[in-house]
Amino acid sequence: MEQKPQAPQAPEREYLFIDRKSPEILSLIENAPIYKKHGLVHARLAVPGETVSTVLASGLVETPENIAEPGDWVVTNPDGEEYIVDKATFLSRNIKTENDGEYLAVGYCKAIQNIYGKPIEILASWGRPEYGGDDCYLADTCDASGALMHGEPYIIEHQAFKDTYLPVES
């Protein structure tokens, strides 16, 4: 009998659990530089109940087994990283191109590099753990003026951040 493949699990490293909404983190992000997202992604409507594990190019499982809700989208970055995004966020941060399933990533965030000097874990806004390396970024969406929009910090892997965000000149 064929065995079902195992879903990616949490990394086997020690992670410092941090409160992503601590006053320290929120203040640092509030005062952080503004970055603009750029580049093309592929996306599709998620099947409600499907699970997607965000596995980075490095092999790090950033988010294990995130479960799609009705209306969610599955986004695939150029490096193959997949993640689930709710409908409102997806539609506000992506513009459809002429090519089927292809979108121009847009939008802004404020971000800080990991201040702890070691790998971190947070409880993400979608209720699942999210993991980042010692050089990851903690980010929150904002508008072009830098006004924070959601108050829901999340992790972006270092290389993914460098590949998909550019600083906004003040």
Q: Which residues pair with 16 in a beta bridge?
A: 120
pLDDT of residue 128 exceeding 90, the answer is: no
Residue whose C-alpha is closest to residue 168's, from 148, 151, 144: 144
User: Can you give the three-state secondary structure of the chain, one letter per residue?
Assistant: CCCCCCCCCCCCCCCEECCCCCHHHHHHHHCCCEEEECCEEEEEECCCCCEEEEECCCCCEEEEEEECCCCCEEEECCCCCEEEECHHHHHHHEEECCCCCEEEECCEEEEEECCCCCCEEEECCCCCEEEECCCCEEEEEECCCCCECCCCCEEECHHHHHHHEEECCC
Specify the pTM: 0.81
User: Distance between CA 122 and CA 140 in Å, rounded?
Assistant: 14
pLDDT in tens, 65-121: 889 999 999 999 888 889 999 999 899 889 999 999 999 989 899 999 999 999 999
**Residue 113 φ/ψ region, left for φ over 0, alpha for ψ in the -120 to 50 degree band, beta for the rest:** beta
Q: Which residues of 132-142 are buried (b: 16+ CB within 10 A; e: fewer)?
A: bbeebbbbbbb
pLDDT of residue 23 exceeding 50, the answer is: yes
Q: Which residues pair with 123 in a beta bridge?
A: 129
What is the overall mean pLDDT for the chain?
A: 88
Q: Quick one: pLDDT at residue 78?
A: 83
